[in-house]
């Protein structure tokens, strides 16, 4: 019988982590992640989870503990938000470069300055190029399920994975969550095997300085240079497409829930006006698509679940019938446009699809985003399309932009 509980996103995440049986958890509390760190420390203290909980003085150390523990063969977990994630930045590169399958929850929150404790996705978007896989969750069920898949993906590829979910709107909102059976999770997720196990019996130097060229080691074996090592990370990221899809499909086979793999689609089959986004805002867009369908506008949603590696082909496929694309995003590359907008435009390059793209920045610092506001943005794009306007546009949804606003 299904074990359905009404949980916050943080509670769902904590249960997901417990089901994956990590050996080491290191975290530093930060709003809105705190509840997750607190629950995990309670599990460890109460003997519910046989792991070592390492209390640290900051996020840089939290990830360093995970890197070290992973190197000696431990399955590891950490979680953070906002400036805590920014503080980890150096070690994010280190974990990915060392090919350590650390799993981390990023409870998405706006970054300072100015301070905000509320939700947007600038924190994880700013870590886009660190070599981590990034998965974005729509609701609390997807959080618990994605954490289990994340370990499977990370340990198949030796690439660390961020499981991102929106602060407060998911982390602090309760909804029904079907808890996967512990034995079934045990069957789905085999024990972690380190690729290079550092032990006292076999001491070695790991990640010493590499020279620009390939070089033989003392045994005369020609070894990778820096660039080959980096190429292998990129090649593994390319393989990750199939691995992420397989994790999704195998998980669906065992647990009966299919979260879409890399890109999920809602009423996309015949959609001419397509919204895209990541996380809860994309879920909100499904309600907007329903509103527009009632008015006769053929709207749908192509939600990006996997942001890195970027699902170029899957996204282009989901947009097959689109005549206009509206990209909703809670973060941007200052001086250019929304990060997801750039990526989706690039994915369409070289395809027959030449459609106007509306770049919508929304929900920064926790500003509420309502389905009717998303529908308004979609309706405007639809009217432009009907009027034969083909250009791209940018807008900041529900934001006072003064007299200079170019519209």
Closest to another protein by CB, 6 or 346: 6
């950490």: which residue's tokens? 78
Closest to another protein by CB, 68 or 398: 398
Max intra-chain CA distance, the chain? 73
Closest to another protein by CB, 104 or 282: 282
Tokens at residue 372, please? 């009717």
Q: How far is the CB of 120 from another protein (least distance, A)?
A: 13
> Residue 249, interface with another protein (CB under 8 A)?
no
What does the DSSP 8-state code read for residue 243? H
Tokens at residue 13, please? 């995440």
Tokens at residue 322, please? 């689109």
CB 109 within 8 A of CB 80: no
> Residue 175, interface with another protein (CB under 8 A)?
yes
CB 315 within 8 A of CB 342: no
Q: What does the alpha-carbon distance between residue 349 and residue 404 come to, in Å, rounded to a whole number?
A: 31
Q: How far is the CB of 9 from another protein (least distance, A)?
A: 10
> Residue 286, interface with another protein (CB under 8 A)?
yes
Choose, by CB under 8 A, the member of 34, 61, 83, 173 that binds another protein.
173
Q: How far is the CB of 304 from another protein (least distance, A)?
A: 16
| Contacting another protein within 365-404 (CB under 8 A) | 366, 368-371
> Residue 77, interface with another protein (CB under 8 A)?
no
Closest to another protein by CB, 166 or 359: 166
Q: How far is the CB of 173 from another protein (least distance, A)?
A: 4
Closest to another protein by CB, 75 or 138: 138
CB atoms within 10 A of CB 223: 12
CB 27 within 8 A of CB 81: no
Tokens at residue 132, please? 């981590």
Site string for another protein, 107-136 (x = CB under 8 A): ----------xx------------------
Q: Which residues contact 365 (CB under 8 A, 6 or more apart)?
A: 110, 116, 118, 119, 120
> Residue 174, interface with another protein (CB under 8 A)?
yes
What does the DSSP 8-state code read for residue 371? H
Phi, psi of 338 (to 5 degrees): -55, 135
What is the binding site for another protein (CB under 8 A)?
A: 4, 6, 117-118, 139, 166, 168-170, 172-176, 280, 283-284, 286-287, 366, 368-371
């Amino acid at each position: 019988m299904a074990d359905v509980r009404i949980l916050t996103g943080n509670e769902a995440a904590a249960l997901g982590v417990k089901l994956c049986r990590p050996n080491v958890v290191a975290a530093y509390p930060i709003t809105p992640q705190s509840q997750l760190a607190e629950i995990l420390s309670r599990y460890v203290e109460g003997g519910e989870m046989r792991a070592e909980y390492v209390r640290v003085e900051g996020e840089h150390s939290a990830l360093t503990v995970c890197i070290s523990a992973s190197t000696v063969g431990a399955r590891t977990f950490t979680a953070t938000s906002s400036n805590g994630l920014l503080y980890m930045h150096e070690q994010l590169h280190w974990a990915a470069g060392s090919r350590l399958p650390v799993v981390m929850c990023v409870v998405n929150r706006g970054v300072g300055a100015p301070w905000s404790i509320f939700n947007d996705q600038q924190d994880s978007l700013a870590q886009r190029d660190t070599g981590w896989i990034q998965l974005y969750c729509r609701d609390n069920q997807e959080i618990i399920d994605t954490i289990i898949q994340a370990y499977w993906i990370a340990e198949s590829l030796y690439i660390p994975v961020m499981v991102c979910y929106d602060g407060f709107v998911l982390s602090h909102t309760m909804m029904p969550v079907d808890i996967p059976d512990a034995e079934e999770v045990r069957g789905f997720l085999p024990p972690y095997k380190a690729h290079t196990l550092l032990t006292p019996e076999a001491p070695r130097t790991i990640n010493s300085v590499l020279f620009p060229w390939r070089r033989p080691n003392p045994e005369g074996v020609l070894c990778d240079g820096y660039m080959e090592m980096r190429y292998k990370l990129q090649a593994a990221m390319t393989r990750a497409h199939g691995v992420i899809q397989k994790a999704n499909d195998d998980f669906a086979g065992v647990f009966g829930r299919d979260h879409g793999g890399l890109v999920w689609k809602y009423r996309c089959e015949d959609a001419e006006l397509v919204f895209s986004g990541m996380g809860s805002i994309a879920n909100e867009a499904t309600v907007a698509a329903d509103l527009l369908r009632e008015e006769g506008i053929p709207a749908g949603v192509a939600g990006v679940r996997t942001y890195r590696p970027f699902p170029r082909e899957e996204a282009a496929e989901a947009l097959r019938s689109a005549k206009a694309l509206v990209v909703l995003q809670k973060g941007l590359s200052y001086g250019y446009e929304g990060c997801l907008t750039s990526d989706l435009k690039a994915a369409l390059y070289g395809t027959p699809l030449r459609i106007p793209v509306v770049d919508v920045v929304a929900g920064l610092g926790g500003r509420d985003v309502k389905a009717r506001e998303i529908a308004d943005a979609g309706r405007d794009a639809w009217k432009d399309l009907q009027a034969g306007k083909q250009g791209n546009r940018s807008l900041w949804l529900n934001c006072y932009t003064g007299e200079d606003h170019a519209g």
